[in-house]
Structure 1
Amino acid sequence: MDNYIGEIRIFAGNYAPVGWSFCNGSLLSISVNQALFALIGTTYGGDGINTFALPDLRQRIGYHQGTLQGGSTYTLGQQSGVANVTLLSSQMPSHTHNLVASSDNATTGDPTNAFLANTNGTTSTPPPPTPYPDVKLYTTLPLPSGPTAPNVTLDAATLSVTGGTLPHDNMMPYVTINYIIALEGIFPSFS
């Protein structure tokens, strides 16, 4: 089976066969690879005087060039995309969270394993400098059922933004395999 110069294939071996090279962005000498340079030029890099680059398909997939129905245009050699992204709150779907409390009377001032409850008019100004002031704001877990269960939705302003702003993987399932490009072979005719 003959191949065309510039043809790219998937190859399961851990080496590039004779007459082929890995699609890893390597710079090649124009004087040694004139036929391939005539086909791809500096589309993938190089100075165009002494060197040109092979396509770099490491950690990338290939897209066909052209314009998609509805807008996006992809040109030969264009690269885009990242393996990890950090989502901003503006990129998340609009949503709300509810904070609930019990309408029953509070039984403890210790928030550990507890949830907000009715203070029944109890106030404190300011709380004493102990870890848990003697003001009862909470009722303890396990969560009860019936009238003592959290059953009152508090104002959304009582919640704050949370999150670690760490990037998440932005990759489809994959298998690592080699892409190789033909340095030798039949020079394809233009049709």
Structure 2
Amino acid sequence: MDAFYGEIRIFGFSFPPQNWAQCNGQMLQINQFQVLFTILGAQFGGNGQTTFQLPNLMGSAVCNQGTGPGLTPRTFSKSFGATAVTLVQSQMPVHQHQFNAMFVANSTQATNIPTSTSYLGRTYKQFDYTSTDTYDTTMSVQMVGVVGGSAPHEDRQPYLVMNFCICTYGEYPVKA
């Protein structure tokens, strides 16, 4: 298989072929992979004196370097993005939830059992739901509170797990 040192390919099997290594961020000794180090350097990690690190593509999508229309610059060998995101109020669209209730004077219209045709209502020491849909009371805005606990949610595109490998022995790439 003809390949360049440092070339990355996707394989449909779970092991690296001969002269390839998985792109799992493993640390390599420079003295064992000198030619590959001349191409990669320590841009993915390692101390650059005795060790260098392979790219880690586990759980990551790949992206070309550069800047596209409306995008921030993407620098070669740098990671970006997050696996989880916590939304803040400024990122949510403005919206409201109106909630109306009524005081029921006629207890024959009231019940303690909600149905799909009942409305929330309350008389003093009486029932909680009514069949009358005429609202005469708007609840206070203090009745609504923040929910969610500011916990992050997972934020990943759908993906299929494949085997990304980098060539550790092949032809030396010459710049065009």
Are the aligned partners of 2:103 and 2:137 in contact in 1 as well (CA < 8 Å)?
no
CA–CA separation in structure 2 for the residues paired with 1:56 and 1:106: 70
Shift of 1:160: 2.0
- Structure 2 residue 6 is the aligned partner of structure 1 residue 2: no
CA–CA separation in structure 2 for the residues paired with 1:84 and 1:16: 30
Q: How many residues align?
A: 171
2:167 to 182, 186, 191: 182
TM-score between the two structures when normalised by the length of structure 1: 0.77
CA–CA separation in structure 1 for the residues paired with 2:93 and 2:170: 52
- Structure 2 residue 19 is the aligned partner of structure 1 residue 11: no
Q: Which residue number corresponds to residue 45 of structure 2?
A: 45
Q: Which residue number corresponds to residue 96 of structure 2?
A: 96
Q: Which residue number corresponds to residue 167 of structure 1?
A: 152
* Structure 2 residue matching 1:74: 3-state secondary structure: coil
Question: What amino acid sits opposite 1:51 in the alignment?
Answer: T
Alignment of 1:59-74 (within 5 A): 59-74=59-74
Q: Which residue number corresponds to residue 149 of structure 1?
A: 133
CA 1:92–1:137 in 2, change beyond 3 Å: closer, same or farther? farther
Q: What is the CA RMSD across the aligned residues, in angstroms?
A: 2.7
Q: For residues 145-170 of structure 1, what are the alpha-carbon distances to aligned partners after superposition, in whole Å with 9 as ceiling and x for unaligned? A: xxx02645725613222234343221
Shift of 1:28: 0.7
* Structure 2 residue matching 1:31: 3-state secondary structure: helix
Structure 1 stretches of 4+ with a deviation exceeding 4 A read 106-115
Are the aligned partners of 1:106 and 1:138 in contact in 2 as well (CA < 8 Å)?
no
Question: What amino acid sits opposite 1:84 in the alignment?
Answer: A
Q: Which moved more, 1:105-114 or 1:63-72?
A: 105-114
Shift of 1:30: 1.0
Q: Which residue number corresponds to residue 130 of structure 1?
A: none
Shift of 1:93: 1.4
Percentage of pairs with the same residue:
35
Are the aligned partners of 2:101 and 2:139 in contact in 1 as well (CA < 8 Å)?
no
CA 1:112–1:27 in 2, change beyond 3 Å: closer, same or farther? farther
